[in-house]
């Protein structure tokens, strides 16, 4: 049965996940999509984001303006990625290189979000709209209540509102122990530096190719890569949380003493001093707590409501998969909603999405946490042993990067048809 009116879809959250989905649905004339952001403007936290090969393939599968959106946003291809030791007896040794075909593209988050939002009509983009309640109405329709006392009616609601949003609690129930994200025991900080200054700080040899470097430390990790079309270097310093962090604390300032404390047990090399100076190039340096959905959600959907991206499966950044998994979510939802021509089919579409996406994304949440421990020199039975790190790390990415996205779409459609 075909509806004579477009299906009204409300996407809650205007970050990369929600914007990718909204963009992908533009080609389906039977869908009428609005996107709601709780803050005064559409924005993304953090400097850069890596989109690995699986995420790039998902964008290609969705097509349209998404095909080359990373390039238009100034994304840089990493010709390789090199993991090295910064602590322990093998300090300054190369652990391994990943070849270009295994690496992705690094792009500035704000630039990517801007490109994703460009094709969407301004009248369909709403800011200062924080959801406080979703009301189930007759015949599957929904009324969204915002904190400014306004409402919006839709046939479907898709929560892309992150780990602090409302929609996850609506889907799971506010008393479900899996609703809240938990501290993963890590924090990270970022500093953006012009390329020439970065060369002065670390040395020319680290910038002869667009290579991403990662350094395994003692209870910490350091990374640097090039973005913004090659003009800027992103430095990232990560540490393991100690008793100074309280539950629910999201960020804290970092000064020289705090940065030096992170690397104090690392090997005495020129790199150690360079790390400190590179991070302090940021005059407003902060550490941000890494949180994840340690407890698996029992479902990603409830009736005509579903969750995606960080709202569904918040993960640590250690396998660079948060954005990629949100893009995969968008690809599967676009595939299923493209086949759903009547509101009565929405529940089945969301069930198929849940069945296909939940096992994969939750596996990556836990894999990423384990990778973080290894990368900070605290892997169980591995520590700072370079040979054990070499043995344990490479295979952790294969199941993520080697996903066949065309087949993933077919699987989702097959599951959907089983519900018809």
CB count, 10 Å around CB of 391?
11
420, 308, 292, 416: which is closest to 364 by C-alpha? 292
* Beta-bridge partners for 108: 48
28, 33, 263: which is closest to 154 by C-alpha? 33
46, 34, 44: which is closest to 129 by C-alpha? 34
Known catalytic residue: 82?
A: no
CA 193 to chain centre: 23
- Fill in the DSSP letter of residue 66: G
Residue 78 near residue 211 (C-beta atoms within 8 A): yes
Q: How far apart are CA 362 and CA 368, in angstroms?
A: 10
The total number of residues shown for the chain amounts to 420
Q: How far apart are CA 348 and CA 24, in angstroms?
A: 20
Q: How far apart are CA 406 and CA 400, in angstroms?
A: 15
Q: In what order do the strands lie in the sheet with 301-302?
A: 125-126, 31-36, 7-12, 156-159, 305-307, 301-302
First to last CA, the chain: 12
Q: How far apart are CA 64 and CA 396, in angstroms?
A: 32
Q: Half-sphere exposure of residue 369, counting CA atoms within 13 Å on the CB side? A: 18
Candidate list 190, 357, 358, 409, residue with the active-site label = 190
Q: How far apart are CA 167 and CA 182, in angstroms?
A: 17
Q: Which helix (H) or strand (E) covers residue 264, if one does?
A: none
Buried b (16+ CB within 10 A) or exposed e, 257-272: ebbeebbeebbeeebb
Q: In what order do the strands lie in the sheet with 142-146?
A: 131-136, 142-146, 151-154
Q: In what order do the strands lie in the sheet with 76-77?
A: 48-51, 105-108, 76-77
Q: How far apart are CA 183 and CA 242, in angstroms?
A: 11
Q: How far apart are CA 314 and CA 365, in angstroms?
A: 7
Q: Which residues belong to the active site?
A: 190
């Amino acid at each position: 049965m075909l509806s004579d009116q477009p299906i009204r879809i409300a996407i809650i959250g205007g970050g990369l996940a929600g914007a990718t989905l909204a963009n992908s649905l533009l080609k389906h004339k039977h869908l009428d999509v609005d996107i709601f952001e709780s803050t005064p403007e559409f924005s993304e936290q953090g400097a850069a984001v890596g989109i690995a090969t699986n995420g790039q393939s998902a964008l290609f599968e969705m097509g349209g303006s998404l095909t080359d959106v990373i390039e238009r946003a100034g994304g840089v291809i990493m010709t390789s990625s090199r993991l090295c030791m910064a602590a322990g007896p093998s300090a300054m040794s190369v652990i391994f290189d990943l070849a270009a075909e295994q690496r992705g593209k690094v792009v500035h988050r704000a630039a990517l979000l801007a490109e994703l939002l460009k094709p969407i009509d301004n009248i369909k983009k709403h800011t200062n709209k924080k959801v406080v309640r979703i009301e189930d109405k007759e015949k599957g329709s929904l009324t969204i209540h915002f904190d400014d006392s306004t409402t919006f009616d839709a046939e479907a609601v898709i929560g892309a509102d992150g780990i602090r949003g409302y929609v996850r609690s609506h889907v799971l129930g506010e008393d479900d122990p899996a609703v809240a994200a938990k501290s993963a025991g890590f924090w990270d900080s970022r500093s953006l530096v012009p390329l020439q200054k970065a060369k002065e700080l670390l040395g020319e040899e680290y910038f002869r190719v667009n290579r991403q470097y990662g350094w395994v430390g003692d209870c910490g990790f350091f990374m640097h890569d090039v973005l913004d079309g090659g003009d800027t270097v992103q430095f990232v310093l990560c540490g393991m949380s100690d008793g100074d962090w309280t539950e629910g604390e999201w960020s804290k300032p970092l000064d020289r003493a705090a940065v030096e404390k992170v690397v104090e047990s690392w090997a005495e090399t020129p790199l150690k001093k360079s790390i400190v100076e590179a991070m302090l190039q940021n005059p407003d340096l902060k550490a941000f707590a890494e949180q994840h959905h340690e407890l698996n959600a029992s479902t990603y959907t409830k009736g005509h409501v579903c969750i995606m991206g960080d709202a569904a499966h918040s993960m640590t950044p250690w396998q660079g998969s948060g954005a990629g998994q949100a893009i995969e979510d968008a690809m599967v939802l676009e595939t299923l909603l493209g086949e759903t021509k009547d509101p009565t089919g929405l529940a089945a579409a969301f069930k198929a999405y849940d069945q296909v996406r939940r096992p994969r994304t939750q596996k990556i949440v836990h894999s990423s946490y384990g990778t973080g421990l290894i990368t900070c020199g605290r892997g169980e039975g591995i520590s700072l042993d370079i040979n054990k790190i070499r043995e344990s790390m490479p295979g952790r990415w294969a199941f993520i990067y080697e996903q066949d996205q065309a087949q993933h779409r077919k699987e989702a459609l097959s599951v959907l048809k089983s519900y018809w």
